[in-house]
Amino acid sequence: MKQRIRAAFAHGQIPTIACINKAKTPLGVDFDKLIKALQKFADECFTPVWGTPARLVKATKVPKGAWAIVFLENADAQKALGYHDVTKEGLPLSKVFVKTTLDDGEKVSVTACHELCEMLVDPAINLCADGPDGIIYSYETADAVEELEFLVNGIAMSDFVYPSWFEDFHKRGSTQFDYLNKVTRPFQILPGGYMQVFKRGKWTEIHGSAAKAKRKTKQDRRGHRVKLRGKHVSKWKISTAT
C-alpha cells in the first residue's frame, strides 16, 4: 500500500518558509537578494491578490513546523526544473533545481517564484476547479502564464493568475485574470503556458500552443506531479533545526 500523507497546516498563522541553498552551481543571482526579492514579491504582488502571506528566511536547516524552498543541483524527477511536494510531516517543500534550470536557459529566480506561488495557494497539492467542457483544472497559479516574467528589485519573477482565472462565470475582459494583465478570460492558457487537467478519467496536460507542447518535451517544472498529484511524498530528507 502506498503511503498517504495528510497535510498539516497551522490555519490562521503566517507560515515561515526556510530558504536553503544546497546547490554547488551559482544561482545567477545573490541568494540573500533573491530571498528579499521573493519576500517583496509575496508582500506586494501575490498576497494582496491571494491573501496568502508568508515569511521567508535564509536557513541551513528547516525550523520545526516551517515550510521550505530548497535549491538543489540537479533534478530528481525527469525534466523537472522545480516542483513542490508534501513532506512526511505533512508540510510543503518546494524544490528548485539550479543546474537543470540554468542548463535549460531559464532563470533560477523565476523557477523559485513559480514554486512559491503554487505552494502558497495549494500547499497540500489537492485543490482543483471545474472548468469548461467538464474539464477539471488543477489549482496551479503560474503554469498557464509561466513564460511571462517581471522584475522585483531587478530580479526576474514569474507572472501568476488571479482567483478569477478559475471562475468560469466571468465574461471576457470583465476583470483582471493575471498579474501582468495578459489573460482576457477564465481558464485561458497563454501560448507559453500549460495546465494539468483531469479529463476522460485521467490526469493529462494541455498546452497554450504547439510550440509550448514541443518545449515541454524538453522541460517540465512539475515533473512527476501529474501522476502523483496529492499522493507524492518528498524523498528529500529535511534536517530539522531544534
Encode pLDDT of 105-129 as tens digits.
999 999 999 999 999 999 999 999 9
Does residue 215 belong to any structural domain of this protein?
yes
Please name the residues in contact with 28: beta carbons below 8 A apart, sequence gap of 6 or more: 102, 107, 108, 109
Element (H, E) at 17: strand 16-21
Does residue 2 belong to any structural domain of this protein?
no
pTM: 0.87
Does residue 121 belong to any structural domain of this protein?
yes
Does residue 8 belong to any structural domain of this protein?
no
pLDDT in tens, 215-227: 666 555 444 344 3
**Residues spanned by the domain of 127:** 16-241
Q: How many domains is the chain built from? A: 1
Does residue 77 belong to any structural domain of this protein?
yes
Q: How many Cα atoms sit within 13 Å of 120 on the Cβ side?
A: 31
Does residue 113 belong to any structural domain of this protein?
yes
Does residue 9 belong to any structural domain of this protein?
no
pLDDT in tens, 39-88: 999 999 999 999 999 999 999 999 999 999 999 998 777 667 889 899 88
